[in-house]
Amino acid sequence: MSVQETTTKPADPTAIPRWTLERARALYGMPFNDLLFEAQTIHRAYFDPNRVQLSRLLNIKTGGCPEDCGYCSQSSHFATGLKASKLMEVEQVVAEARKAKESGATRYCMGAAWRSPKDRDMAAIVDMVQGVKALGMETCMTLGMLSPDQAETLAAAGLDYYNHNIDTSERFYPEVVTTRRFADRLETLDRVRQAGIKVCCGGILGLGETVDDRIDMLVTLANLPEPPESVPINMLIRIPGAKLAETGAVDPIEFVRVVALARLLMPQSHVRLTAGRTAMSDEMQALCFFAGANSIFIGDTLLTAANPGESQDAKLLRRLGLTADADA
């Protein structure tokens, strides 16, 4: 199979899928060395292989979410011990973004534990976007489902990316979330795209899904009218009290295979190594970078979960000879 040929868009993206599950499955099942070689080859065609974008994620509104996402510490359906809070003040968010920039982050992501934002909160959200952009940082928001008007408001504010993960395959999705449909996720992605905002969308490994579910998730993303410019790949952090707290660990080699497949199916996207890095060895992360991951989130916390500290990340990047965007 020619990977170069399969990554070419058809003239009419609505005519046939860019990828079938069978074609993606064949890539995923290649000998590991061959898969990584193909992924690294594609990665080098579109990105500097030794450059990593550093991002920072801030919880601007914590807990009390009415959704029942089985992996989440912030769901009101589970007794995780997390206390709900109100939306942060704009000035505090911008101050935190300034600190993140001083630590080397070039991308700032802001997340609120909402099913969808209320219109009364949109003015503050707009001010946050504009305040962070004034620092010269790339902006991303994740606020739940959006109405068309809300998407247009965020676009007018200059938001660069909107994150709304599909989490897993459509088949397995009802085992993870029951308070909204898989189709609702896709509808929000379409509204974001129609408003002219770049899409950040990926998934989580370790929910109890099969290998085919993982492949199908990536095929769904790659076959969107425009693939997401940003694809976060998360490893489940098992939260005591949450529905999926007792699921099994993800095999490191299988995780790397998913990263490589994401790179092959979406060659021009940033593939972001996101939640779960505290459970990853340096060697596993190095393989992920070789497989095509080119972004990490820095800081001691990622929303409500632990994350490797900045000194630990800096040490790893030095060991691998990788350069952060801010230092390039």
Q: How far is CA 121 from CA 24, 142, 157, 241, in A?
A: 41, 14, 14, 30
Using only C-alpha atoms, the chain has a radius of gyration, in whole angstroms, of 19
Of the listed 18, 56, 107, 140, which one is catalytic? 140
Task: Please state the length of the chain.
Answer: 328
Q: Is 69 a catalytic residue?
A: yes
Q: Do 3 and 38 contact (CB within 8 A), yes or no?
A: yes
Angle separating helix axes 32-46 and 282-291, nearest 10 degrees: 60
HSE at residue 151, side-chain half, CA atoms within 13 A, is 22
Annotation marks residue 109 as catalytic: yes
200 catalytic? Reply is: yes
Q: Which residues contact 323 (CB under 8 A, 6 or more apart)?
A: 48, 50, 51, 52, 317
Catalytic pick from 18, 56, 69, 191? 69
Residues 6+ apart with CB under 8 A from 190: none
- 3-class SS of residue 24: helix
Active-site hit among 18, 109, 201, 277: 109
The CA–CA distances, whole Å, from 191 to 16, 52, 99, 160, 235 equal 22, 29, 32, 14, 27
Considering 107, 257, 272, 277, which one is annotated as catalytic?
272
Provide φ and ψ at 37, rounded to 5°: -60, -45
Q: Which helix (H) or strand (E) holds 161?
A: strand 161-163
Which residue of the set 18, 65, 185, 277 is catalytic? 65
Can you tell me which residue has the tokens 């497949």? 261
Determine the 3-state secondary structure of 220 from DSSP.
helix
AA identity, residue 257: R
The set of catalytic residues is 65, 69, 72, 109, 140, 200, 272
